[in-house]
Amino acid sequence: MVRAAVCVGALFSISVLAQVPATIAPRVRPPVSRPEQSQGILRADSSLVVIPTWVTTASGASVTTLNKENFRVIENNVEQPIAYFNKDDAPLSIGLLFDTSGSMRNKMEKASESVVEFFKTANTEDEFFLVEFNDRAKLMIPFTRDSGEIYSRIVRTKPAGKTSLLDAIQVGLKQMKKARHARKAIVIISDGGDNWSWHTVRQIRGALVESDVQLYAMGIFDAKLTGRSPAENRRGPALLEELAGQTGGRHYPVGDLNDLPSISAKIGTDLRNEYLLGYYPADSRDGKYHHVKVNLSLPDNMPPLRANYRRGYFASPE
C-alpha cells in the first residue's frame, strides 16, 4: 500500500451542535441573461475554451474591476484573442472533502462554523457533495442542493483514525463527473498530511491535470513544524500549494483555528469573483495537453496584481 504525503480536510462533531439544526441561507442569485457560451468549460470539448481566473492584490484581496482589455491569454506560447469575457456569478458544483481523522477531535467546532460560513456565500442554484476521510475516503452525501443536509452529517461525525487525503481527492473527482454545472471546485479542510492513502501523489496530480476542477484547501497545520514532526505533516503544506496551484485554486494555511470560518468565507467569495476568459484555439481536437498562461495588462498607476488560473487543459481527440 502506498502511503502518500499531503494535508487537507476537517469535519466536526460536537454533541450540542448535533442537536441544533443549521439554518443556512444562501445568497439569492439575481436573474441574468448570458449567452450559451458562458457555460465555461476548461476542456476543449467544443471549440471554445474558457479559463476561470481570479485576480488579487499583494495582500490577497479580490479585484473585480478589470475589463477584457486587462487580460492576455497565451496557449503554448501563442497569444489567443479573447472571444468571450464574463464576470457572471454562474452556479457551481462543489465537493467538500472533510478530514475526520483522530487529530481533528478538538477542532470540530470551528470546522463546522467554517462550513456554515462557506455555504452562506453560495447561490440557490449551487450543488454540493460531501466526502469524509480518515482511514478510508467515502462519499457520504452525493450531489444535493440542500447544504443543511451536509452540515447535519458533519456535526454527527466522530473523528478517529488516520488520514487518507489523496484517496479522498480521487473519490471527489469521480463524483464530480456527475456534476450538473460547468464550473466545478473541490474544497478541502484538513489538519494533517496524508499517511494512509492507496493513491500516490503522482496519480492524483495527473488526475487533477486531466480534470476541469479547481481545488481549494484549508490546511490547519502546526505553525511550529520541525524536523521531528511527522514527514507527512512537513510535506503537507507544499503539496497542497502544488495541487491547488495547478488547478487555478489556492491553499490557505490556517495559523489560528479561530480564523477558519473567515478563511472559508473568503474561499466562497473567491469562487464568486472569477473572470471567465474564453478563446478558440487552433488545435482544439488534438488530444494533447495545452499549456495556458494568463498575463495582466494594467495601467501604470495600478499596483501589481496577481492572476490565479488553471495552467492548462487536455483537448478532446477527434
Per-residue pLDDT tens for 76-114? 999 999 999 998 778 999 999 999 999 899 999 999 999
Mean pLDDT across the chain? 85
Cell reading at 115: 462550513
Q: pLDDT band at residue 8, thresholds of 50, 70 and 90?
A: very low
What pLDDT, on the 0 to 100 scale, is given for residue 67?
A: 95
Distance (Å, whole) CA 47 – CA 284: 6
The answer to whether 11 touches 154, Cβ cutoff 8 Å, is yes
Q: Could you give the percent of the chain with pLDDT greater than 90?
A: 61
Are the C-beta atoms of residues 26 and 182 closer than 8 Å to each other?
no
**Is the predicted pLDDT of residue 9 greater than 80, yes or no?**
no
Instruction: Report CA 129 to chain centroid distance, whole Å.
Output: 13
Q: Order the strands of the 183-190 sheet from edge to edge.
A: 137-144, 127-133, 92-99, 183-190, 213-219, 250-253
What integer pLDDT is reported at residue 225 of this predicted model?
Answer: 60
Question: Amino acid identity, residue 142?
Answer: P
Question: What domains appear along the chain, each with residue ranges and CATH number?
Answer: 15-21+89-272 (3.40.50.410), 46-88+276-314 (no CATH)
Could you give the count of Cα atoms lying within 13 Å of 145 in the half-sphere of its Cβ? 10
**pLDDT greater than 90 at residue 182:** no
- Residue whose cell numbers read 466522530: 158
Q: What is the pLDDT of residue 279?
A: 95
E strand or H helix that includes residue 117: helix 108-120
Considering only residues 255 and 279, tell me which one the structure prediction assigns the higher pLDDT: 279
Helix (H, G, I), strand (E, B) or coil at 248: coil
- Of 76-80, 208-212, 224-228, 258-262, the one with minimum mean pLDDT is 224-228
Q: DSSP readout, 214-261?
A: EEEEEE---TT--TTS-HHHHHHHHHHHHHHHHTT-EEEE-SSGGGHH
pLDDT confidence of residue 32? 44
